[in-house]
Structure 1
Amino acid sequence: MKGILKSLEGDKAIWGVVALLALFSFLPVYSASSNLVYVVGNGTTVGHLLKHGLLLVLGFGIIYSVHKIPTHFFKGLSIIALPVVLVLLGYTLAQGTTIEGANASRWIRLPVVGITFQTSNLAAVVLMIYTARYLSKIRDREIRFTESILPLWLPVFLVLILILPANFSTAAILFCMVLMLCFLGGYPTKYLLSIIGAGIVTLALFVLLAKAMPGVFPNRVDTWISRVESFWDGTDSEGDYQIEKAKIAIASGGLIGNGAGKSVMKNFLPQSSSDFIYAIIIEEYGLLGGLSLLFFYMLLLFRIVVVANANQTVFGKLLVIGVGLPIVFQALINMAVAVELFPVTGQTLPLISSGGTSIWMTCLAIGVVLSASRKQDEQKEIEQNTEEHPLEVLSGQL
């Protein structure tokens, strides 16, 4: 056991928070999976729990493997992975079928293991790394908008356009995260305003195209509009139904909750083990449980900022913020949807909700953050050895 813990390098606080979130996730996933078993008629609760455990084990394998990769390797890997991601997104969008009743233009099925894989999650991580690489490359140069169109904004808009038809919320979040990273990376604000305007025009053109040719993207634009309208005026819709059930679950939880596994609304709330698992957590563990979970996500955010601030390279700083901040941002959006601060978006709760792709891509991002923190720890160790044994270090270098 000591040998395993010794091999875990990087920021120990991040390792601890991620491990605690993963361990806690077994309780609400096991409880909420009864909805899939007794209402939907899909599998058994033990089967869903074992599947969730297997996904987490593979996820931690991803964290361990990725955090051993030197940080600067991600520059080249992002250039190689971006064309692959574009091909996967195009293939996923072109399917136009359904997987277990869901829109398959978001997922592809892995042929060997039979697990569905949401390509947009992988695309988000790769695009943020690619953006961090480009921003670090031009950090000390005068930036011209025309020079950045092909190497930066063309890949960004290609990824977003391929995600947008099937998953507006993911495309919107990714667009905001890219803009945020560019702002922190010193990209001129006047150019960012132009990009925002171009994004709004592109979205408007897509909506008009979808309205003019409803057979191309059936129901997607109508679904977005109905969710936003129901959020603002309280009209009845599927999203409104889910929000109402979520609010009932939250209200019945009170201060300390009804106890583990004693949720009632999990049998009436669709997606209770994924998109709306936070409502089930509050119903079973109360306001204290919900705030405790929020605290751990904020602690994760704090450690991400600490790692980014301590990193000695521009690429390392932007990389940590680029892949780390979206994890916390997605968690806050999931919580905000459950308490009706946001319209229904379909975003899962990282490391808590069931679902393979979300867990794996979150683990991939955490592995990248830990890789950056591992390099930081190695630098500190070198500096400490230099202070304690300067002659030995100098002779070793000679």
Structure 2
Amino acid sequence: MKSIFQHIKGDRAIWAIVAALAIFSFMPVYSASTNLVYVVGKGSTIGHLLKHIVLLITGFAIIYGVHKIPYRYFSGGAVLMLPVVVLLLVVTLAQGTTIGGANASRWIRIPFVGIGFQTSTLAGVVLMVYVARYLAKNKEKRIEFKDSLIQLWLPVGIILMLVLPANFSTTAIVFTMILLLTFIGGYPLKYIGYILSIGLFSLLFFILVAKAFPDAMHNRVDTWLSRLENFSKEGGTENYQVQKAKIAIATGGPLGKGGGKGVQKNFLPQSSSDFIYAIIIEEYGLLGGGIVVFMYFLLLFRILVTAKKATTIFGTLMVIGVGIPIVFQAIINMAVAVNILPVTGQTLPLISSGGTSIWMTCFALGIILSVSGSKDETEETILDDNPLDILHETI
């Protein structure tokens, strides 16, 4: 065991929190997968658990591999990855897999593996690193709005426009986190206001075009609007998923029914992914749900500590950019389960089943641990890196 610890670096508390969340996820995923087995007729409970364990093991391998990379490489790497991400998003929109009959081209199938890859999650991480790089490079300069439109907001806008048709919630989360990151990074507040106005106008324009020409492109505008309508209605007919999640939470009590003894998992769609927090409360009670919340806020605290201890502005901004969205996504997932927010389709990081979410969360955590384990990086060595030089070194 001691030899294992010698090979890992970075914040040990983050390692411990991530491991605790991953291990805790075994029983809820195993229990909730009965819906897929007995209702949908897909696989076996042991099979779903083994798949989840394999995904977590590969996720920890990603954390280990990424945290060994000096974080200065992520600066130029984000620039190199932008065109790759755009290409993947275009392919996803054109040939993406539709899940459960819904008009939502979010996934591309990984050959020979049989796992769907949600390209928008990769796009979010790459965008955060790219924005952190831009802000760090211009920290001591006077930022002109026209220049930033081309250098910063054009790549952001292109990628978010490609994500939006099939995944509004991810688009909204990434856009919100980018605005937060730019505010923390010293981007002029009035320019942030301009960008927010442009973003809201673009969303409204997209909705109007989608409603006017519904067959022009794959989109989920009708789904977004129906979710908002169901959520805002008082005394109206609620979404079936929300009803079952409420029952699960209401019957959980202080200590829950016990692991595997929940009932609503048999009726609640997406019980092992989007609504797994409701199953956790039903089976482990308010105590179990509270511990999960505490673990995520403890993770947020350690992320902020890592950001503060970073020796470079880029390191600080990158940790905030890739770290806070993990906790933000967890908060959204739990808020949906308790009916504070409308249904979004966001998973609970490290606990919900799902390959892409686990892998991208682990990739982001590897970046954070790379920063927390680095002591000798300087702003000059990071931001002066030529992306083509990084590509040459990698090859």
TM bin, normalised by shorter chain, reads over 0.9
Residue type at the aligned position of 1:66: V
TM-fit CA distance, 1:104: 5.3
TM-fit CA distance, 1:204: 0.8
- Cα separation, 2, equivalents of 1:15 and 1:248: 34
**RMSD in angstroms over aligned alpha carbons?**
1.4
Q: Does 1:127 align with 2:127?
A: yes
Q: Deviations over 1:273-298 (max 9, x none)?
A: 00000000000000010000000000
1:290 aligned residue: 289
1:391 aligned residue: none
TM-score, with structure 2 as normaliser: 0.93
TM-fit CA distance, 1:253: 0.2
TM-fit CA distance, 1:219: 6.3
1:396 aligned residue: none
TM-fit CA distance, 1:6: 1.4
1:259 aligned residue: 258
1:279 aligned residue: 278
2:39 aligned residue: 39
Which runs of 5 or more structure 1 residues have no equivalent in the other structure? Answer: 380-398
Q: Which SS does the other structure have where 1:107 is aligned?
A: strand
2:56 aligned residue: 56
Residue type at the aligned position of 2:4: I
TM-score, with structure 1 as normaliser: 0.93
- Cα separation, 1, equivalents of 2:20 and 2:8: 15
TM-fit CA distance, 1:97: 5.3
1:82 aligned residue: 82
Equivalent positions of 1:86-97 (< 5 A) are 86-95=86-95
* Structure 1 stretch displaced more, 159-168 or 239-248: 239-248
- Cα separation, 1, equivalents of 2:204 and 2:50: 44
Residue type at the aligned position of 1:198: I
- Cα separation, 2, equivalents of 1:64 and 1:34: 32
Q: Which SS does the other structure have where 2:239 is aligned?
A: helix
1:384 aligned residue: none
- Cα separation, 2, equivalents of 1:126 and 1:85: 8
Contact 2:93 2:218 (C-alpha < 8 Å) held by counterparts: no
- Cα separation, 1, equivalents of 2:31 and 2:241: 18
- Cα separation, 1, equivalents of 2:233 and 2:257: 32
Q: Which SS does the other structure have where 1:108 is aligned?
A: strand
- Cα separation, 1, equivalents of 2:126 and 2:42: 33
Q: Which SS does the other structure have where 2:105 is aligned?
A: coil
Kindly tell me: are residues 104 and 167 of structure 1, through their superposed partners in 2, closer, same or farther at Cα, counting changes over 3 Å?
Answer: closer
Residue type at the aligned position of 1:190: K
2:226 aligned residue: 226
- Cα separation, 1, equivalents of 2:123 and 2:362: 14
Q: Deviations over 1:255-274 (max 9, x none)?
A: 00000000100001000000
Which runs of 5 or more structure 2 residues have no equivalent in the other structure? Answer: 378-395
Kindly tell me: are residues 222 and 126 of structure 1, through their superposed partners in 2, closer, same or farther at Cα, counting changes over 3 Å?
Answer: same
TM-fit CA distance, 1:235: 6.8
Q: Deviations over 1:288-321 (max 9, x none)?
A: 1000000000000000000001112100000000
Instruction: Kindly tell me the number of residue pairs found equivalent between the two proteins.
Output: 377
2:385 aligned residue: none
- Cα separation, 2, equivalents of 1:322 and 1:243: 31
TM-fit CA distance, 1:98: 2.5
- Cα separation, 1, equivalents of 2:234 and 2:222: 16
Contact 1:350 1:358 (C-alpha < 8 Å) held by counterparts: yes
Q: Which SS does the other structure have where 1:253 is aligned?
A: coil
1:306 aligned residue: 305
1:177 aligned residue: 177
Residue type at the aligned position of 1:256: L
- Cα separation, 2, equivalents of 1:210 and 1:6: 55
- Cα separation, 2, equivalents of 1:152 and 1:195: 11
Q: Deviations over 1:75-124 (max 9, x none)?
A: 01101111100100011011265255354510000012111000000000
- Cα separation, 2, equivalents of 1:343 and 1:147: 37
Contact 1:78 1:129 (C-alpha < 8 Å) held by counterparts: yes
Q: Which SS does the other structure have where 1:211 is aligned?
A: helix
Contact 2:251 2:282 (C-alpha < 8 Å) held by counterparts: yes
Matched-pair identity in %: 64
Q: Which SS does the other structure have where 2:186 is aligned?
A: coil
- Cα separation, 1, equivalents of 2:240 and 2:60: 35
Contact 2:104 2:219 (C-alpha < 8 Å) held by counterparts: no
Residue type at the aligned position of 2:297: M
Residue type at the aligned position of 1:146: K
1:336 aligned residue: 335
Q: Which SS does the other structure have where 2:108 is aligned?
A: strand
TM-fit CA distance, 1:336: 0.3
1:14 aligned residue: 14
TM-fit CA distance, 1:216: 2.4
- Cα separation, 2, equivalents of 1:283 and 1:65: 37
- Cα separation, 1, equivalents of 2:106 and 2:133: 27
